[in-house]
Amino acid sequence: MRAQGVTRQEIARLFRITPDRVTMIEQEAATEKAQAERRAQLQAEMRLADDLDKVWPVVNLVDALHLLTVARARLLTHFDQQHKTEMSLREFMDLVISEHADAADAFSRTPLLRVRGIGKYGFHSVAAELAETDLGPGCNAEWQRRLAVLRREWRIPSWPPNPRHREG
């Protein structure tokens, strides 16, 4: 409505909110748009590279995925505490579903679940976004293979839905 020339005061009256709240909504929408554009650019770069071993800034790996807000924050905090500023997509996938699991420890397959504050919804958010994001044919195939191994080992009939689709 603002783009069509409707004033903040008119919008505020129409929706029975304050003009300041209209401004806040505009700012949130602009932030979401900028994040979506950045995410699309990062995904395009990763898809073009299609290289599991190329090193990326961790903030770019995290921002390329449309994660739950809490999962994004917890991952960035975790990497900051580990003094990890760069990693490959393979290393990131290993954090979510490890290739080197201990048969005696069922959760060694999923180190991400040990990251403080991630929880099952954060884990599902990261796993689902890796599955839904086109990172290139080779990277996509590697992620699908890891998901299949985890589903088979944990006897999961179907992968849980992406928690982001429940937000908002």
pLDDT at 109: 86
Q: What share of the chain is helix, strand, coil (3-state, %, to 5)?
A: 65, 5, 30
Same domain, 87 and 36: no
* Model confidence, pTM: 0.84
Same domain, 151 and 80: yes
Same domain, 36 and 105: no
Distance in angstroms (rounded) separating the CA atoms of residues 123 and 78:
14
Same domain, 30 and 59: no
Same domain, 102 and 79: yes
Give the mean pLDDT of 133-149.
Answer: 95
Same domain, 28 and 74: no
Range of the domain at 108: 50-166
Same domain, 34 and 81: no
Distance in angstroms (rounded) separating the CA atoms of residues 35 and 82:
25
Same domain, 33 and 69: no
Give the total number of structural domains in the chain: 2
Q: Is 155 left (phi over 0), alpha (psi -120 to 50) or beta?
A: left
Q: Does residue 18 register a pLDDT over 90?
A: yes
pLDDT band of 103, cuts 50, 70, 90: low
Tokens matching residue 13: 């009256």
Same domain, 85 and 134: yes
Rounded to 5 degrees, φ, ψ at 68 are -55, 145
* Residue 121 CB burial class (10 angstroms; 0-12, 13-18, ≥19): middle
Same domain, 86 and 150: yes
pLDDT at 107: 73
Same domain, 124 and 151: yes
Give the mean pLDDT of 51-67.
Answer: 96
Closest listed residue to residue 70, CA positions, set 11, 139, 145, 123 = 123
Same domain, 120 and 66: yes
Q: Does residue 126 register a pLDDT over 60?
A: yes
Total Cβ atoms within 10 A of residue 90: 14
Give the pLDDT confidence of 64-86 residue by residue, as tens digits. 999 999 999 999 999 999 999 99
